Amino acid sequence: MSRGMSPGMSSIHISIAQQTLQQRDAHGQLLREYPVSTAAKGVGEQSGSFCTPRGAHIVRAKIGAHQPLNTVFVGRRPTGEIWTPALAAAHPARDWILTRILWLSGCEPGFNRLGSCDTMRRYIYIHGTPDTTTLAQPGSIGCIRMRNTDLVALFDTTPAYTPVFIIST
């Protein structure tokens, strides 16, 4: 069992095929299920692939506690902006990271940790997205996008080092 993956912890399970995120209790029972959007380019672990990495991960850092809904983050810091359609129109090329960030770290050396496949160094997050973003279908550049209100509920009930399993099926 990797660091932080102790028995008795809740866990997060992300299905690429179903485009869902499930939060499960320590016994594996489903607590909540949310629609998500993973990478438009599919799955992959290599740096620069713009794919969503598979395998066992942990929530290495939680960023954005107590920020308002639609807070804009750049470089994991709030910019002071709140996302609006007008702001989006003014910055059409931005990849919006909103509300909260759960920064993932891989647990499998040579697959999703260390070297050219390191999830954390790739800045792969579970993060909020504009309400106009279509979920339940791939569309991100590697991260897992969630509806902002869903993300707040997940964030508030997910401690650091919670196991996260990303699977293709």
Domain containing residue 108: CATH number: 2.40.440.10
Q: Which residues does residue 21 pair with via DSSP β-bridges, in sequence order?
A: 14, 34
How many folded domains does the chain comprise? 1
Instruction: Count CB atoms within 10 A of the CB of residue 145.
Output: 28
Report if residue 56 sits inside a domain: yes
Could you tell me the residue range of the domain that residue 24 belongs to? 11-167
The answer to whether residue 1 is domain-embedded is: no
Instruction: Specify if 4 maps to a domain.
Output: no
What single letter denotes the amino acid at residue 29? Q
Give CA separation, 17 vs 9, 36, 57, in Å: 25, 11, 18
What are the tens digits of pLDDT across the range 138-162? 999 999 999 999 999 999 999 999 9
**pLDDT tens digit sequence for 87-112:** 999 999 999 999 999 999 999 999 99
Residue 3 in any domain: the answer is no
Answer yes or no: are the C-beta atoms of 128 and 122 closer than 8 Å: no
Q: What mean pLDDT do residues 10-23 have? A: 98
- Please state, in angstroms and rounded to a whole number, the distance separating the CA atoms of residues 134 and 136: 7
